Homo-oligomer: A and B are copies of this chain.
Amino acid sequence: MSYTSLKSLASKYTFQPATKLLAKDLNPHAINAKYAVRGPIPTKAEELRAKLAGESHSLPFNKIINANIGNPQQLDQKPLTFYRQVLAILQYPELIYNPALVQTIPKDLIERAKLLLGKIGSVGAYSHSQGIPYVREQVAKFIQKRDGYESDANEIFLTSGASTAVSYLVSILGLGQQTGFLIPIPQYPLYTATLTLNNSKALPYYLKEEEDWSIDSSSLRTIIENAIAEGTIPRCLVIINPGNPTGAILKPDAIANLLALAAEYGLVVIADEVYQENVFKGEFVSVKKILRELQEGDDQGRFSNVQLASLHSTSKGISGECGQRGGYMELVGFHDEVIQQLLKLASISLCPVVTGQALVELMINPPKKGQESYEQFKYESQAIFDSLEQRAASLYAAFNEMTGVSCQEPEGAMYCFPNLTIPQKAVDQAEKSGLEPDEFYCSELLDNTGICAVPGSGFGQVPGSWHVRTTFLAPGTEWIDQWKEFHEMFMKKYA
A286 interface contact, C-beta 8 A: no
A219 interface contact, C-beta 8 A: no
Determine whether the beta carbon of A322 is less than 8 Å from that of B126: yes
Determine whether the beta carbon of A302 is less than 8 Å from that of B15: yes
In the docked arrangement, what's the CA distance between A417 and B154, Å? Answer: 34
Q: Which of B9, B15, B87, B344 contacts A92 (CB 8 A)?
A: B87
A121 interface contact, C-beta 8 A: yes
Give a binary string over A311-340; 1 marks a CB under 8 Å from any B CB, 0 the rest: 000010001111111000000011101101
Stretch from A351-359, A375-383, A453-461, A486-494 that touches the partner: A351-359
In the docked arrangement, what's the CA distance between A355 and B94, Å? Answer: 19
Give a binary string over A9-37; 1 marks a CB under 8 Å from any B CB, 0 the rest: 11101011111111100111011010101
A101 interface contact, C-beta 8 A: yes
Q: Which of B8, B15, B17 contacts A304 (CB 8 A)?
A: B17
Determine whether the beta carbon of A347 is less than 8 Å from that of B35: yes
On chain B, the residues within 8 Å of A253 by CB distance are 1, 5-6, 9
A462 interface contact, C-beta 8 A: no
Determine whether the beta carbon of B92 is less than 8 Å from that of A347: no
Chain B residue with Cβ nearest A289? B3
Give a binary string over A65-97; 1 marks a CB under 8 Å from any B CB, 0 the rest: 000010111100001010011011101101100
Determine whether the beta carbon of A20 is less than 8 Å from that of B322: no
On chain B, the residues within 8 Å of A117 by CB distance are none
A7 interface contact, C-beta 8 A: yes
Size of the chain A interface, CB-CB below 8 angstroms? 123
Min CB–CB distance A304 → chain B (angstroms): 7
Q: A322-B126, A341-B30 are in contact. Are A98 and B104 (CB under 8 A)?
A: yes
In the docked arrangement, what's the CA distance between A91 and B85, Å? Answer: 7
Q: Which of B89, B124, B126 contacts A88 (CB 8 A)?
A: B89
A175 interface contact, C-beta 8 A: yes
In the docked arrangement, what's the CA distance between A157 and B355, Å? Answer: 22
On chain B, the residues within 8 Å of A197 by CB distance are 171, 345, 348
Min CB–CB distance A338 → chain B (angstroms): 6
Stretch from A261-269, A426-434, A435-443 that touches the partner: A261-269
Q: A127-B323, A334-B20, A348-B33 are in contact. Are A10 and B298 (CB under 8 A)?
A: yes
A100 interface contact, C-beta 8 A: yes
Determine whether the beta carbon of A22 is less than 8 Å from that of B353: no
Give a binary string over A151-178; 1 marks a CB under 8 Å from any B CB, 0 the rest: 0000000001101100100011111000
Chain B residue with Cβ nearest A23? B337
Determine whether the beta carbon of B8 is less than 8 Å from that of A297: yes
A481 interface contact, C-beta 8 A: no
On chain B, the residues within 8 Å of A303 by CB distance are 10, 17
Q: Which of B19, B23, B125, B335 contacts A22 (CB 8 A)?
A: B335
A387 interface contact, C-beta 8 A: no
Min CB–CB distance A459 → chain B (angstroms): 15
Chain B residue with Cβ nearest A168? B30
A58 interface contact, C-beta 8 A: no
Q: Which of B167, B252, B302 contacts A13 (CB 8 A)?
A: B302
In the docked arrangement, what's the CA distance between A161 and B95, Å? Answer: 27
Chain B residue with Cβ nearest A314? B124
Determine whether the beta carbon of B323 is less than 8 Å from that of A125: yes
Q: Which of B1, B104, B160 contacts A353 (CB 8 A)?
A: B160
Q: Which of B264, B315, B335 contacts A20 (CB 8 A)?
A: B335
A307 interface contact, C-beta 8 A: yes
A143 interface contact, C-beta 8 A: no
Determine whether the beta carbon of B17 is less than 8 Å from that of A268: no
Q: Which 6 A-B pairs have the closest CB atoms?
A: A100-B100, A18-B266, A7-B297, A10-B297, A323-B354, A88-B92
The contact sample of 21 A-B pairs, CB cut-off 8 A, is A6-B256, A9-B297, A10-B256, A17-B303, A17-B304, A20-B266, A21-B307, A21-B338, A27-B174, A33-B344, A38-B129, A69-B126, A73-B122, A74-B126, A79-B122, A88-B89, A88-B91, A98-B100, A124-B320, A160-B325, A194-B348
Given contacts A7-B297, A324-B353, 20 further A-B contacts (CB under 8 A): A6-B297, A10-B256, A17-B301, A18-B264, A20-B307, A21-B338, A23-B340, A26-B175, A35-B344, A71-B126, A127-B323, A160-B349, A160-B353, A163-B350, A193-B348, A197-B348, A323-B354, A325-B353, A353-B355, A355-B355
